[in-house]
Amino acid sequence: MTMPLPDNFIPTSQTLTIRDPQLFALFSDCIKILDTKGEDYTGGEKVRDRLLNFREAAKESGTSMLQAWFVYFFKHYKSVVKYIRTGKVESEPIRERIKDLINYLYLLTLIIDELEGKGK
């Protein structure tokens, strides 16, 4: 039996590993994906702008970064919905799509922070 956590508890990787190893593994995978895929989308080591892909897509399409984000997010969302309805996915495994969705939600927070003047 685990003890209840205090309200001001901030989990560390060590406590997450012990208390919820699946959650720790999931978020560890998400971070690895952000790092590996990020090289292709952020302008590389010199630029390292996590939102560069959304900036460029928005500029090229004449839309906002939020709208560009939604297009990328929706592609993965649709795959998850298809899996829920049919139990099947065509290309990438469902767990990878879920990790991508988690990462896109994180990227959305960065876009919102920037739009609200809290980013960069």
Q: What is the pLDDT of residues 59-87, one digit of tens each?
A: 999 999 999 999 999 999 999 999 999 99
What pLDDT does 23 receive?
A: 87
Residue 25, classed as helix, strand or coil, is helix
Mean pLDDT, residues 18-22 taken together:
79
Report CA-CA distances (Å) from 22 to 3, 25, 28, 50, 77.
Answer: 19, 5, 10, 26, 22
For the whole model, what pTM was predicted?
0.79
Tokens of 26: 């999931």
Count of residues making up the chain: 120
pLDDT at 47 over 70: no
pLDDT at 9 over 90: no
